[in-house]
Amino acid sequence: MVREMKNSIREALVKSLPIFFSYICVAFGYGLLMQKAGFAWYYALFTSFIIYTGAFQFVLITFLKSGASIVTIALTAFLMNSRQSFYSLTFLKDFKAMGKAKWYMIHTMTDETYAVNCTLSPEVTNRRQVMFFVALFSRIYWMAGTILGGLFGQLLGQIPDGIDFCMTALFVIIFMDQWEKAKSHIPALIGLGTGIICLLFFGKSNFILPALIIASGILLLWQRKEKNEVHYEKSY
């Protein structure tokens, strides 16, 4: 049991290494921006601990500076982070089998941990342990980067512009990585096309949720069509 856990920790460290480099850099930038907005490093750490969603945390800085209402903040958080609910649907059986840890897994599901979990083979016996430690290590990376950014911001004093672009760069890298590994690019093209169309119709502040719903619906229909075609070919 102990040996299996050590192997899971070792594998999770290796799997989460790309997340480490990305999270340290992005969270470092978040800590700097929080410092630039006038919030000490422990405020940045607190928000990272209770929210843990990079894209919204960057937006939250603007809300905190402008004094936005709780309703506005809550609604924006729901719209921006609704995609994580769709991510969890992929691992319902795994999370259910993990007992009480499933609540932690749901809370810590991010774009990066989802991408890593998708690379784990269902046939591996310690798969769920690796998933848990990847989530745990990833959160530690993010909070460590936040602290470092906040403390460095205090020492630096003058914070340069353009740091908030690091989150956009991270999403682009994730997309490119998945594009190279995927056997079929149809799902990526569906998601990209749906996102662009919804952006034009709903605007940059409201397009994420409808884009996710529409893209998920199209992908479910496409997947069902693929299964029916395979079943039809096997029957003959």
pLDDT in tens, 153-175: 888 766 666 666 766 676 677 67
Please indicate, yes or no, whether residues 106 and 43 belong to a single structural domain of this protein: yes
**pLDDT computed for residue 179 by the predictor:** 79
**pLDDT computed for residue 150 by the predictor:** 86
Where among 137, 161, 181 does a domain terminate? 181
Where among 181, 196, 211 does a domain terminate? 181
Range of the domain at 6: 2-181
**pLDDT computed for residue 51 by the predictor:** 81
Q: Which helix (H) or strand (E) holds 17?
A: helix 17-36
**In whole angstroms, what is the distance from residue 62 CA to residue 44 CA?**
13
**What pLDDT, in 10s, does the model give residues 44-68?**
888 888 887 777 787 788 777 777 7
**pLDDT computed for residue 144 by the predictor:** 92
Please indicate, yes or no, whether residues 135 and 85 belong to a single structural domain of this protein: yes
Please indicate, yes or no, whether residues 45 and 88 belong to a single structural domain of this protein: yes
**In whole angstroms, what is the distance from residue 99 CA to residue 229 CA?**
37
Question: How many domains, in total, are found in the chain?
Answer: 2
Mean pLDDT by 10 residues, the chain (236 residues): 80 88 86 84 86 78 76 72 71 84 84 83 80 91 91 76 66 74 80 88 75 79 69 54
**pLDDT computed for residue 187 by the predictor:** 81
